Amino acid sequence: MSIRGKRIGILGYGLTGRSLKKLCDKLGVKTFISDMNQGDEKENTYRILMCDIVSPSPGIPPHHRILSRVETSNIPILPEIEIGWRYLYGKTIAITGTNGKSTTAYFTHKLIRGSYICGNWGKPVSDLAFKRGVFVIEVSSFQLHYTKEFRADVSVITNVSPDHLDWHGSFENYLRDKLKILKNQKSKDFSVLNMDDAYFQSFKRESKGNMITVSMKNRAADVYSDGSTIFMDGLKLKVPNKLRKPSLIYDLMFAISSAYLLGVKEFPIDTLEPLKGRIEFVKRVGNVEFYDDSKGTNPHATRCALESFDRVVLIMGGDNKGLRFDELRDAVKEKVKVIVAIGKSKNLIKETFEDLVDVILAEDMYDAVRKAYALSNGEPVLLSPACASFDMFRDYKHRSEVFRKAVDSLSALEFSTYGLERETDIKGA
């Protein structure tokens, strides 16, 4: 579907909306901007319904009243990511999944010299229109929902578990949107899929191109790791200690596979660093180490983070996006000494886990960090919220920033200043 000669209604004038407007201006395509924070709602709705194509911000859910009217009126809906993608010249790698897609995209970008990184990463695809090269595109389920023709030379699905049910309405809808990354594949295209994921068979059924599998459990996979070495097509790549966490090893395997498929022969993985906010060591205060996994915005991510530790004091909570935490119960029982709960979902967290471990409620991040410190007897303190951040913070990066400031505010003398008894009052001590 060409946009030339059409009038594009841009619904939401944030980062992607502004980028799309610039692209449309370059193409001589007329636009109408409808932003919830500007103008009369009735007038905005009327004018958006006069457009030939509507392109909504990824954050606007399909059940929003204006989008519902657009769909009822049979006006085509195209996301910014698809419109911008049509003006990229070169090879594309598209990466989606519930967890790990940002780190995978970053690793892939670093392994392919001179490549561009865009999409859900933070740089709209439209910003790179008319450029030539290799484009690494991180794609969210929100961005995939309305895609029609979007496809990549290499499509990656890192993993899938329930997330964003408040936006999608059900896990079935969420999974269907994730699988759209494979929908338009051609026989010459590639998919890189996680053989260890519970939904691998669903991925496999949808893949129409050449399938590459990765695994840490099955040596028959095309790319396999035993936790210290990655094996691929005769190559043996030693994983540096700083990346020897299961979640990061999967991300490495996806990135190496994608780069290899586009002709990369050398993989200096020792130069790669984990992203900030993803199981990152912050600092040591007294005998307690603090780790930041602010990017763990759903239960599956927190489960992965817990696998990297023997026993922790866990800070979790925020906006749970319609998700429950029951899938974490066995991991919490095995790995967690005590939970410090924050945010909108803290009472649900207490209700879910209080029969397994003590759950302490905190008022804010500073309160949570101090209580976690007081409750540790040398166990690491891990921030892995299993929730979105928007109830308390601008985004997960802001949450990470506040966590680090709270850790910096501690001193080793503050151990017992919050009326919290130590080891003897903690379940399982």
Dump pLDDT digits (tens) for 215-234: 999 999 999 999 999 999 99
For residues 380 and 291, is the Cβ–Cβ distance under 8 A? Answer: yes
Do residues 249 and 134 both lie within one domain? Answer: yes
The confidence score (pLDDT) of residue 419 equals: 47
Banded pLDDT at 426 (limits 50, 70, 90): very low
| Residue 73 in tokens | 């009126």
Strand partners, 53: 8
* CATH value at residue 118: 3.40.1190.10
* CATH value at residue 339: 3.90.190.20
Do residues 117 and 264 both lie within one domain? Answer: yes
The confidence score (pLDDT) of residue 413 equals: 45
Q: Is position 1 within any domain?
A: no
Give the angle subtended at the CA of 110 by the CAs of 258 and 104, to the nearest 5°. 50
Directed axis angle between helix 101-111 and helix 246-261, to 10°?
A: 40
Dump pLDDT digits (tens) for 81-92: 999 999 999 999
- Nearest alpha-carbon partner for 159 in 280, 247, 255, 273: 247
Banded pLDDT at 297 (limits 50, 70, 90): very high
The confidence score (pLDDT) of residue 318 equals: 97
**What average pLDDT does the segment 3-17 reach?**
93
* pLDDT greater than 60 at residue 425: no
* pLDDT greater than 90 at residue 400: yes
How far, in Å, CA of 62 to CA of 57, rounded? Answer: 11
Do residues 147 and 214 both lie within one domain? Answer: yes
- Please report where in the chains the tokens 């329930």 appear, as a residue: 162
Q: Is position 245 within any domain?
A: yes
Q: Is position 290 within any domain?
A: yes
For residues 7 and 31, is the Cβ–Cβ distance under 8 A? Answer: yes
Domain that includes residue 203, residue range: 81-271
How far, in Å, CA of 272 to CA of 227, rounded? Answer: 17
The confidence score (pLDDT) of residue 20 equals: 97
The confidence score (pLDDT) of residue 274 equals: 86
The confidence score (pLDDT) of residue 38 equals: 61
Do residues 233 and 99 both lie within one domain? Answer: yes
Q: What average pLDDT is seen over the chain?
A: 92
Dump pLDDT digits (tens) for 105-120: 999 999 999 999 999 9
Banded pLDDT at 308 (limits 50, 70, 90): confident
* pLDDT greater than 80 at residue 416: no
Do residues 43 and 86 both lie within one domain? Answer: no
Among the residues of 62-100, which ranges form H helices? 65-72, 80-85
**What average pLDDT does the segment 353-367 reach?**
97
Do residues 256 and 313 both lie within one domain? Answer: no
Decide: pTM greater than 0.85. Answer: no
* pLDDT greater than 60 at residue 264: yes
Distances in Å between the Cα of 146 and the Cα atoms of 179, 180, 230, 341 are 12, 9, 36, 36
Dump pLDDT digits (tens) for 130-186: 999 999 999 999 999 999 999 999 999 999 988 887 888 899 999 999 999 999 999
**DSSP, res 323:** -
Lowest mean pLDDT of 208-222, 247-261, 300-314, name the range: 300-314
- Which of 228, 249, 271 terminates a domain? The answer is 271
* pLDDT greater than 80 at residue 382: yes
Count of domains forming the chain? 3
**What average pLDDT does the segment 304-314 reach?**
93
- Which of 249, 271, 293 terminates a domain? The answer is 271
Q: Is position 2 within any domain?
A: no
